[in-house]
A and B are shown apart, each in its own frame.
Chain A
Amino acid sequence: MTVFCLVELESGAVADASLRALTLARGLGPVAAVAFAPPADLPVAELAAYGVSDVYAVAADGYAPRAWAWAIANLVPGWPDAFPEGPAGRRPAVLAAGTDRGNEVLAHLGAIIGLPMAANCVAAAPAPGGGLELVRQRWAGLLLEDAVLDAPVALLTAATDAVAAVPADAPGPVMVHAVKSELSPADLMMRAEEAPAAAGGASLATARVVVGGGRGVGSADGFAPLEELASLLGGVVGVSRVVTSEGWRPHTQQVGQTGTKITPDLYLACGISGAIQHIAGCAGAKHIVAINTDASAPMMARADYAVIGDLHQVLPALIEALRAR
């Protein structure tokens, strides 16, 4: 039975988080992508590479979570009359990336069709006794939950920082289906008016390089070398919770459980002790380099590489060295 996977697009490509969701979806059955974009805008080749066989291109005018959920509900076989019966792992499933949008749309979908929704899964596989065996993130990934989801339609999202994006071994052809959804005014009431964010710049969640600053930065002014280094490396600045509670930086830059979870190639943690809430946000980084005066700081234990020293001395020297190259 088909596994529907909500695909988010970013700059014309499939968002990294959605590639991860597609990878997880592929393990459950043939994947039909659902994208809210005109057929012409779809990155069909990329979808094919990730094993997608069908794409439902839903005509949409901006982001409207309830409307999007209704549109997906209408694709679910049997809905709203009777879900098809099926053996374990052979029932339909709907996946999305565990992004703000993915979780929101699937929660709406769960409410609409009256079924459970499992957020931020890191693994899913058919359970011997029926349904799916899931591993979910709790506490933003600091804990894992083993669970069984045994519903007529499995609704789940894939953790953005714990499932790897892996292309399919043997991509096949892709069928594109244009869909027009019938929507009520109530559904469209919750529609986002979009505008460029004030801060602008690269997104913390998707940046390739994040230069992190913590208590050790010492003040709002202390972030100047971090900004400079981030711009040299084409990355962005992220901060720990103490930095935002001190008012040194805006909350939008907070990395952690209650901030943003990041998945860069490099996280350069400067003067960050490594409280667990922060680790929850940066555990998805491919590589971590920590700069700290205290060799025994917890951040050091999470890092691949460590420099023991004062960031206020190391960063200017690093910047100079990079400029000299």
Chain B
Amino acid sequence: MEILVCVKRVPTVGGAITLTADGQAVDTRMSGFTISPHEECAVEEAVRLVERHGGSVTVVTLGPVAAEEQLRFCLSLGASTAVLVETDGSELSPFVTAAALASVASAGGHDLVLLGNEASDTGDYQVGIRMSYFLSQPVVTGIKALDFAAETSMLTARREYRGVSETFRLPLPAVVTVKEGINLPRYPSLPGRLRAKRAVIERIPVLSTIDRPELLTSPEFRVKGLRVPAAGKRSAVVLGSGVAAVPELVRVLGELGVLP
């Protein structure tokens, strides 16, 4: 099975997010970069499918040259080849992103395209779906369990929604977006890291993947700026320490109307 996994270089955030002075981006001077947890799981799922069914994993990203750091991370987890669709690092619309990634997928003739359910930074929730339309392939999203039956060449994908288990069955080739929890991703081994370091990453200019350069900027959707929501800190009323605080806690729960 030939699998393409799409990942995105995003800032690592662990605490409060701080913005650059112009409010246009996350301040990453002290945070570094990563891929989203959903995507780590997508890479892991791809590597496991290939371990079970044969084939290889290609990882692709759309981003600046610095995004090779994330590609090499994926290579260290078991992907065997990597493709960088090189941009100047500015944000591209989900439409362009999907078009560029679909171009790579269609050129590679992959059986399966895996993505994270959404990128952790922009949270657009649509790149995988738009890709599937470019590729004319079925798509399922938010998947938490994935099985492949080699004899029927069918994928079974599961997720839960409002206490209901949803199962999708679809033939390859297909696009699947996954969520954290589908697996517990491995950590990169030292030999894996050294293989990744030596790997040659293919670079493709973004303009060669889309036919209309004017699409790089979207007149229909313009981001004006980012801000940190004002809400957040509440001033907690300390009800007390240890078990001595329990009567007061019970009273408050009553006030909040949550006691049966």
Assess the A308–B242 pair: CB atoms within 8 A.
Answer: yes
In the complex, which residues of chain B have a beta carbon less than 8 angstroms from the beta carbon of A295? 238
Q: Is the interface of A mostly helix, strand, loop or mixed?
A: mixed
Assess the A144–B184 pair: CB atoms within 8 A.
Answer: no
Write the chain B residue with the least CB distance to A320: B246
Stretch at the interface among B44-52, B80-88, B228-236: B228-236
Assess the B162–A190 pair: CB atoms within 8 A.
Answer: no
A interface footprint on B194-224 (CB within 8 Å = 1, 0 otherwise): 0000000000000000000000001111111
In the complex, which residues of chain B have a beta carbon less than 8 angstroms from the beta carbon of A310? 242
Interface size on B, residues (CB 8 A): 84
Assess the B227–A107 pair: CB atoms within 8 A.
Answer: no
Assess the B221–A149 pair: CB atoms within 8 A.
Answer: yes
Assess the B36–A258 pair: CB atoms within 8 A.
Answer: yes
Assess the A302–B232 pair: CB atoms within 8 A.
Answer: yes
A304: Cβ under 8 A from any B Cβ: yes
Assess the B13–A318 pair: CB atoms within 8 A.
Answer: no
B28: Cβ under 8 A from any A Cβ: no
A215: Cβ under 8 A from any B Cβ: no
Stretch at the interface among A37-45, A72-80, A174-182, A204-212: A204-212
In the complex, which residues of chain A have a beta carbon less than 8 angstroms from the beta carbon of B126? 103, 106-107, 110-111, 117, 119
In the complex, which residues of chain A have a beta carbon less than 8 angstroms from the beta carbon of B166? 63, 192-194
A131 to B220, CA, bound (A): 9
B interface footprint on A138-169 (CB within 8 Å = 1, 0 otherwise): 11111111111111000001000000000000
Assess the B164–A194 pair: CB atoms within 8 A.
Answer: yes
Contact status of A322 and B259, CB under 8 A, knowing A111-B129, A149-B220, A266-B253: yes
In the complex, which residues of chain B have a beta carbon less than 8 angstroms from the beta carbon of A148? 221-222, 224
A306: Cβ under 8 A from any B Cβ: yes
A224: Cβ under 8 A from any B Cβ: no
Assess the A111–B130 pair: CB atoms within 8 A.
Answer: yes
Which has the most chain B C-beta neighbours within 10 Å: A149, A279, A318? A318
Q: Smallest distance from the beta carbon of B46 to chain A beta carbons, Å?
A: 18
Write the chain A residue with the least CB distance to B227: A144
**Which residues 150-169 in B have Cβ within 8 Å of A in the complex?**
159-169
In the complex, which residues of chain B have a beta carbon less than 8 angstroms from the beta carbon of A107? 125-126, 129-130, 141
**Which residues 98-149 in A have Cβ within 8 Å of B in the complex?**
100-101, 103-104, 106-108, 110-112, 115-120, 131, 136-149
By Cβ-Cβ distance, the 7 closest A-B pairs, closest first, are: A251-B181, A107-B126, A192-B166, A309-B242, A103-B125, A306-B236, A317-B243
B interface with A by C-beta (< 8 Å): 13-17, 19, 26, 36-38, 93-95, 98, 118, 120-126, 129-130, 132-133, 138-142, 144, 159-170, 179-181, 184, 218-229, 231-234, 236-243, 245-247, 249-250, 252-253, 256-260
